[in-house]
Amino acid sequence: MTAEAPRRRGRPSRTEEESGPGSRERILDAARAEFAERGYDKASVRGIARAAGVDPALVHHYFGTKDEVFAAAIEVSFEPAAVVPAIVAGPRDAIGERLARFFIGVWENPVSRAPLLATVRSALTHEAAAKVLRTFVLRRLLERIAAELDVPEPALRAELAASQMIGIVIMRYVIKVEPLASADPEAIVAQVAPTLQRYLTEG
């Protein structure tokens, strides 16, 4: 708010509008798009503000630094992942299949794929982005999954399952190696489900 004050004098009505209901969501949408299109390095708070039709100070006011905007944007991108612990908590004998099918479904949907892909690419090339992913998203998500598991070293098991899924993402959606890139999603689910099942349930 302090940063806004001097500008406000010049155009009070715009700031009023900007901070109205929906501006927070508009900023998050713009941030997702900006990070997805330009990558972590080239995305800027200024560019996000422009796309959202708000003042950069409002972005800072709601979210803080670029890192924090990124964290908020990828939390939104990972929203589908919020249901993963519930999936894991269901009947044991088909955890692997449920998880594989849900995961492939999210990645097969172009709307959810674009921001996730941007997050993965950013985390792979920028330590700041990797730290955000590690700290804000993966740790929280994987800890919640691990809490549902009844195996030795549940945290390691949850990460092994995640590693299989991220490997599929890299080969199928990023490097696009054939025949995996064009394989039927259900064929992948059938192959990957027993892997996840073993990591998450077998002692």
Give contact residues for a copy of itself (rule: CB under 8 A).
39, 120-121, 123-125, 130, 133-134, 138-139, 142, 153, 155-157, 159-160, 162-168, 170-172, 174-180, 183, 187-188, 191-192, 194-195, 198-199
CB within 8 Å of 46: residues ≥ 6 apart: 56
CB 131, min distance to a copy of itself, A: 9
**CA–CA distance, 157 with 144 (Å, rounded to integer):** 12
Q: In this complex, which beta carbon is closest to a copy of itself, that of residue 91 or of residue 179?
A: 179
3-state secondary structure 32-62: HHHHHHHHHHHCCHHHHHHHHCCCHHHHHHH
3-class DSSP state for residue 139? helix
Q: In this complex, which beta carbon is closest to a copy of itself, that of residue 80 or of residue 154?
A: 154
Q: In this complex, which beta carbon is closest to a copy of itself, that of residue 17 or of residue 143?
A: 143
Q: In this complex, which beta carbon is closest to a copy of itself, that of residue 48 or of residue 123?
A: 123
CB 71, min distance to a copy of itself, A: 15
3-class DSSP state for residue 184? coil
Instruction: Take residue 65 and report the two structure tokens written for it.
Output: 């630094």
CB 94, min distance to a copy of itself, A: 17
**CA–CA distance, 44 with 66 (Å, rounded to integer):** 7
In this structure, which amino acid lies at residue 180? L
CB 136, min distance to a copy of itself, A: 12
CB 168, min distance to a copy of itself, A: 5
3-class DSSP state for residue 198? helix
CB 1, min distance to a copy of itself, A: 35
Q: In this complex, which beta carbon is closest to a copy of itself, that of residue 89 or of residue 180?
A: 180
Instruction: Take residue 196 and report the two structure tokens written for it.
Output: 């996840």
Q: In this complex, which beta carbon is closest to a copy of itself, that of residue 5 or of residue 147?
A: 147
In this structure, which amino acid lies at residue 66? K
